[in-house]
Structure 1
C-alpha cells in the first residue's frame, strides 16, 4: 500500500509540472518577454568629419583627419584606399543635401553603422559646422 502512495505522489508531481509547462507554452506572445526580438528604441549616433566626396558615393573623413589639397583630384576609390581606416560611406538620400559641398566640416546623425570596410551609414540629419 505504501508503494502505491509513493507512485501517486510522483504521478501528481509529474502531472503538475506538465500542466505548468503546458500553460507557459500556450500563453500569448505579448506576455513573454524575448530580449532578442523585443522592440528596439535606438538612439542616434553622431560623427563629425570632413565631407571628402559628394556624389554617387559620399565619403566622410573622421578621426580629426584633414585631407590634403591634392586629394580633391582623387577619384572615390583612391580616396577609400588612402583613408580606409578613417572613412564612413554615408547615404544622403533621406536628407536634403543640396547645401553640402566637398570640403565642408559637418556632423551627421545615423541610427546604425554597418560593419564593412569602410563602414556605411544612412544619414538621418546633418549640421554644417564649417564651410571650406
Structure 2
C-alpha cells in the first residue's frame, strides 16, 4: 500500500471535518471575463473572444471555449467593479476537476478594462 503526502508551504485553511489545520497554496490565473452573470466565465490561455460571441448564451460559450475556460464563483468577493471584457487575475485555493474546471475566487485584480 502506498501513501502519498502532498505538502504546500503557503497559507492555512481550517479543515472542518477533523478540526486540524491543512496547508494549501493559493493559485492564480489571468484571463478575460467572458461572462458575468449567474454563471461567471473566465477565458484563459491567451484566448480572445470574437465580437460575435457577445450574442451567445452561456452554454454555447462553454461549448465553444471549454478547453480554455474556468467557471468562477464570485460570491466571496465584491465583484461590483468587474464587467464583461475586462482582463483580470483571480486567486483561488482549489480548482475543482470538472469540465470546464470551477474555482471559488478569493480575490481578484483588474489588469485592463475593455
- TM-score (norm: length of structure 2): 0.82
- Residue of 78, 82, 88 corresponding to 2:70: 88
Superposition pairs for residues 1-132 of structure 1, below 5 Å?
39-132=21-114
Q: Indicate the SS of the match to 1:80.
A: helix
Comparing both structures, which one devotes a greater share of its residues to helix?
Answer: 1
Structure 2 unaligned spans of 5+: 7-17
Runs of 4+ in 1 over 2 A off after TM superposition: 35-39
Superposition CA RMSD, Å: 1.5
Q: Which has the larger radius of gyration?
A: 1
Q: Distance in 2 between matches of 1:113 and 1:98?
A: 23
Comparing both structures, which one devotes a greater share of its residues to strand?
Answer: 2
Structure 1 unaligned spans of 5+: 1-34
